[in-house]
Amino acid sequence: MNASAIRRLRWKIIVTSTATFFLVMLAMGLSINAANSVVTNLSIHRMLDYITEHGGEPFPDGRITNGNSGEQFEDFSPEFRYSARYFSVIYESDKSTVSETRTEHVAQLTETDARNMAGKAIRRKRFGYGRDGYYYWKTEEMKDGRCIAVFLNCQSQISANRRVIHLTMWMSFGCLSVAFLLVILFSNRIIRPEIENLRRQKQFVTNASHELKTPLAVIRANTEIEEMINGESEWTQSTMRQVDRLNGLVQNLVMIARAQEQEDRSEMAEIDVSRCVSETVSPYESLAQQDKKELVQNIPPDIRMIADESKIRQLTSLLIDNAFKYCDEKGRVEVTLDAPKKGRQVRLVISNSYAEGANVDYSRFFERFYREDQAHNVDRGGFGIGLSIAESICHQYNGGISVSWKDGMIMFTCLLM
């Protein structure tokens, strides 16, 4: 994990934590407002039921009573008689002839206004509840066959619900802002161990590479002296091969450490990617002829991007070297370069013949030191870290690398942005 990956991890933590908190606050806000709305509607319906049950005049003697028993009705406060703002219109059974209009409990409506509003409600196909602006209404057939429409002014309840919604929104926004700031603050502490591990890892790789160089140089020198005195033997040749192998491993470990570091932006410039890739691939034409393999280049001219030229050459070299190393005998290696999104994206595809690739676990190809067939691949050289370095380079350019297999060809696709 490099510095860039750690920064991305930190922002993932911040975004994930903030999004989780937002979803929790949203769920709480919706639940509170939904419950408040349900309770308010139930209360309004009970008021309408009570007024309708009493024929639009539930307080003839100033008391709130149960219409069936005459006992005092306890669901509403005694002040309900004075605070409730409602009117009722009673129609004959034909629903068109007004029998009685009671508007003494509202001051802002005339009888004409009340009848117009009641007419719309009473002419509906079914009796029931509804809403008209600040008024909730109920229509019902009375025991004597007439019909009644009761309208209750619920402006105070509606305003109260809106206040709850606004308070919930502002409090949620405030809490979310505080949570966002706290997550930013504490995220530094969360990723601090990762930063320290990264520093120690780089220090270890650097120190280990320097410490290994000296004994390897001594072993090589001693072996060469042994060959000068006693001549070459199977054992000295084996020692020299292993020394070369360890030297290569040390160089690749240093390369991994450097590849993980954030690239120097001062070296970034607009480059001709077509020329870089073509010049990197061209030297392999002689190797293709020597191994009796076919090298195909599909590289259109003048594909450009902002990048470090050495990184593009290194990426191409790693993949083309890997392609020749694992290509089937007398097989084909193909290099394709294009720009799917001109000016914003460059795609490099390097593929090679690989007849045995049908049942390979490609998900592990970019793991360091991973090789599909250990015994077979050791003979070909390599340490299983080239593809990991290629992946690191692609990530430096906000892109990625993927591998796929189709019709006997394995393809490595790099996207650079």
Please tell me the predicted confidence (pLDDT) of residue 340.
Answer: 80
Q: Kindly state the DSSP code that residue 266 receives in the 8-state scheme.
A: G
Say what the pLDDT of residue 4 is.
65
Tokens linked to 195: 């930063």
Closest CA to 413 of 389, 394, 385: 394
Are the C-beta atoms of 361 and 405 separated by less than 8 Å? no
Annotate 289-313 with DSSP letters as a single string.
HHTT-EEEEE--S--EEEE-HHHHH
What is the domain partition of the chain in residue ranges?
Answer: 85-153, 266-416
pLDDT tens by residue, 118-134: 999 988 878 899 999 99
SS3 of 149, please? strand
pLDDT of residue 8: 77
Question: Quick one: angle between helices 386-396 and 3-53, nearest 10?
Answer: 60
Domain 266-416 in the same topology as domain 85-153: no
DSSP letter assigned to residue 379: T
pLDDT in tens, 218-254: 888 888 888 888 888 888 888 888 888 787 777 767 7
Give CA–CA dist 135/156, Å, rounded. 11
Beta strand 269-272 with 294-298 is: unpaired
Cβ neighbour number for residue 395 with a 10 Å cutoff: 17
pLDDT of residue 70: 43
| H helix or E strand, kind and range, residue 350 | strand 346-353
User: Could you confirm whether domain 266-416 is CATH 3.30.565.10?
Assistant: yes
Helices (H) and strands (E) in the chain, counts: 10, 12
Sheet of 86-91: strand order equals: 98-102, 86-91, 147-153, 135-141, 129-132
Contacts of 399 (CB under 8 A, 6+ apart): 345, 414, 415, 416, 417
Contact 348, 354 (CB under 8 A): no
Contact 88, 151 (CB under 8 A): yes
pLDDT of residue 72: 43
What CATH number does the domain located at 85-153 have? 3.40.1840
Q: Amino acid letter at 235?
A: W
Backbone angles phi, psi at 2, to 5 degrees: -95, 180
SS3 content of the chain, % helix, strand, coil (to 5): 55, 20, 30
pTM: 0.52
Q: Which ranges of the chain have pLDDT less than 70?
A: 1-5, 58-82, 252, 255-267, 343, 368-384
pLDDT the model gives residue 374 = 46
| Measured distance CA(159)–CA(165) in Å, rounded | 10
Give the three-class secondary structure for 365: coil
Q: Which two tokens mark 95?
A: 């629903």
